[in-house]
Amino acid sequence: MKRFFSYLMILIMIMTMCTINLTSYAFVYNDNMTNFEEDNFTYCIDSETSSAVIVDIKADTRILNIPETVVCKGITYPIKYLSIFTTRGYSSFSSVLETINVSKNIEQIDLFDIGYYNGLLSVLKVINVPSGSKLKELSLPSCPKLKKINITSDSGLINISIDGCPKLKKLSLPKTVKYCNVGKDAPKLKVKIAKSNKYLKVKGNQILSNDGKKLIDIVGNKSKVTVYKTVKVVDSCLDNKYLKQLTIGQNVNKFSDSLLNISKKIKIVLKHKNKAPKIKKKSIWAYDIKGINFHVQNKRVAKDLKKKLKASGIEKAKILIGKKVIYKIENY
């Protein structure tokens, strides 16, 4: 029964993450909404914003040219959202779609939920975002063949999240971007962020908050990474496929809620001498954790870390000093 409720919590959290939007408004589908078909798309009307939403794409669509507007019952609506959820079912467009040409009106593209059922955009190669675009959120599942995301410097993009893009080598982001998660599987990716961006910056292979106090993401294929001395908070960067060891100095005083929510084996080296970084209670919901090995400097830190990890809800972890295991944590 405990395991059932654990999985239920996981499902709720994943669905929440998939719909997180850093814009002022996020479209939420309502089963009472009436769908209608026009050309290559299935739409519904979002009455709250007086706009149209693309909720499905014709199965054989190879090049997706998102229209600016659509007419329904004599009324012209701007198309602001492309939002497709597997819980409603969708066509098989994901296996043939090669190019997405974004319109200026579109504000949110959310196809991430396709990946929840192990789906992906298997042949998507290019995403073109036009000059003056209103696009604020781009959220995609794994895109194994994606090579280019063309975003102009005057774009208003705020949030970009891609589950995996191993072919992507370059990504230039505008001054408006506040959140970036693209490092999961992109071994040769180099990210550039506009110097005028007040929220994020790139240093080495790490994406940091502009003040350098928060580690947001790690890109590239380095197996061992040391967090910069300016960082105080380490965010959800451990899902980088190639990362095997993360060294964290005494400057870090907090792990974000989502940092340890991973299902991979990894080594975390803590340089702290008095106490471990803060971890929010009941914040870890990942299941099937392969095992996180924490290497600490002394028994004082080990004891403090053990207490914090148990309270966090982590399922499996080891705390070591040198090669000796001091504590094993198992919360099942």
**What's this model's pTM, rounded to 2 decimal places?**
0.84
CB–CB of 283/312 below 8 Å?
A: yes
The pLDDT of residue 93 = 87
- In a 3-state reduction of DSSP, which class is residue 234? strand
Q: Which range has the top average pLDDT, 200-204, 233-237, 291-295?
A: 200-204
At a CB cut-off of 8 Å and minimum separation 6, what does 321 contact?
Answer: 295, 296, 297, 298, 299, 302
Give the pLDDT confidence of 86-139 residue by residue, as tens digits: 666 677 888 899 999 999 999 999 988 876 666 789 999 999 999 999 999 999
Mean pLDDT of the chain: 86
N-terminal to C-terminal alpha carbon distance within the chain: 11
Q: What is the pLDDT of residue 25?
A: 53
Question: CA–CA separation, 316 vs 289, rounded Å?
Answer: 6
**What average pLDDT does this structure show over 61-84?**
95
Confidence band, pLDDT 50/70/90 cuts, at residue 24: very low
pLDDT band for position 22 (50/70/90)? very low
- The pLDDT confidence band at residue 15, using thresholds 50, 70 and 90, is very low
| pLDDT value at residue 67 | 96
pLDDT band, very low/low/confident/very high, at 216 (cuts 50, 70, 90): very high
HEC secondary structure over 11-34: HHHHHHHHHCCCCCCCCCCCCCCC
Residue 246: predicted pLDDT: 94
**pLDDT tens digits for 272-295?**
999 999 988 876 655 555 678 999
What would the two tokens of residue 161 be? 């999240």
